[in-house]
Amino acid sequence: MGKHEAIVKALEAGDSNRASAEIRGHVAVQVEKFYHLIANLKPAAE
């Protein structure tokens, strides 16, 4: 099951604690991926 699907299932079940945990986990992974992307960018050639 994908992260988005897990979030939707938790919301549909009315489980706000699980939905919150799924969302926090999902956002944390995305932030880490973005950080690595920015950290590895090379300067543009002039």
Position 43 scores a pLDDT of 85
Q: What is the pLDDT of residue 44?
A: 84
Report which DSSP code applies to 2: -
Q: Are 1 and 25 in contact (CB under 8 A)?
A: no
Predicted pLDDT of residue 45? 81
For residues 39 and 23, give the distance between their C-alpha atoms in angstroms, rounded to a whole number. Answer: 24
Going from N- to C-terminal start, the domains of the chain cover 3-39
Residues 2-36 have pLDDT tens digits of 889 999 999 999 999 999 999 999 999 999 999 99
pLDDT of 42: 87
CA atoms within 13 A on the CB side of 22: 16
